[in-house]
Amino acid sequence: MKKTSFVSAAALALSFAMPASAQMSVEDQIEARQAAYQFMSWNMGKIKAQAVDGEVEFNADQMKAAANAIAAVANSGMGALYSPDSTLDKAENTRLKPEFFEQPEKAREVGMNFGREANKLQEVAASGDKAALARQFAAVGETCKACHDNFRAK
Ligand code: HEC
C-alpha cells in the first residue's frame, strides 16, 4: 500500500509539473534563463577567484560545489527556456538574437560544447587539482563566450 501511494503521489506531482512548464510564458522563460546565467556566472566567479586568480584561498569543497552547480544548470534542459517568440525582435528585456532559431545546427553545437565542458568541470573539480581546474575554467569560459558571440546581443 505504501508503495502504491508513493507512486500515485509522484504521478500527481508530475501531472502538475508538466503542464506548468509547457505553459511557461515568454516572460517567465526570459527571467528564468537570465537568472540561470547569473547563477552560473556567480559560480564561475568563485572558481576564478580561487583557482585562477588566487585572490581567495583555494577550498576544494567550495570548488566542487560551484562546479556541481554549473553542471546542474547545464544539464537542466535549458532548451525549454528558449522559444521562437522569446527573441529580442519579438520580446522585451532580452538579448537573445533570432539567429538562435535561424541557425539551429550552430545553436546545437554551442550548446553541446558547453554541456560537455561543464560536465568535465565537475569531474576536474572533484579531483581537487587546482591547476587542472584553472585550465578547465578557461575551457568552459570559451564555450560561454562562443554562445554569446553568436547568439547574445551586445
Ligand atoms: C547556449 C548559449 C549560451 C551559453 C552556453 C551561455 N550563455 Fe550566457 N547568455 C546567453 C543568452 C542568449 C543570454 C541572453 C539571455 C536573455 O537576455 O534572454 C545570456 C546571458 C548571460 C548573462 C546575463 C544574464 C542577465 O541577467 O541578463 C550572463 C551573466 C551570462 N549569460 C553568463 C554566462 C556564463 C558564465 C556562461 C557559461 C558558464 C554562459 N552564459 C553560457 C547564451 C548562452
Handedness of CA 37, 42, 43, 49 (dihedral sign): positive
- For the entire predicted model, the pTM comes to 0.89
Q: What percent of the chain has pLDDT over 70?
A: 86
> Which residue ranges in the chain fall short of pLDDT 70?
1-22
pLDDT of residue 23: 74
pLDDT of residue 1: 44
pLDDT of residue 87: 98
Which of 97, 148, 150 has most ligand 1 atoms within 8 Å of CB, for mutation? 148
- Residue 142 assigned ligand-binding role: no
Q: Is the CB of 66 inside a 6 Å radius of any atom of ligand 1?
A: no
Residue keyed to cell 564555450: 143
- Residue 102 assigned ligand-binding role: no
Mean pLDDT rounded to a whole number for the chain? 91
pLDDT of residue 69: 98
Show me where the domains of the chain are located.
25-151
pLDDT of residue 21: 52
- Mapping DSSP onto H, E and C, the string for 118-151 reads HHHHHHHHHHCCHHHHHHHHHHHHHHHHHHHHHH
pLDDT tens digits for 114-136?
Answer: 999 999 999 999 999 999 999 99
Q: CA 119: distance to chain centroid?
A: 11
Q: Which residues contact 114 (CB under 8 A, 6 or more apart)?
A: 74, 140, 143, 144, 146, 147
pLDDT of residue 22: 60
Q: Is the CB of 37 inside a 6 Å radius of any atom of ligand 1?
A: yes
- Closest atom of ligand 1 to CA, residue 70: 38
CATH of domain 25-151: 1.20.120.10
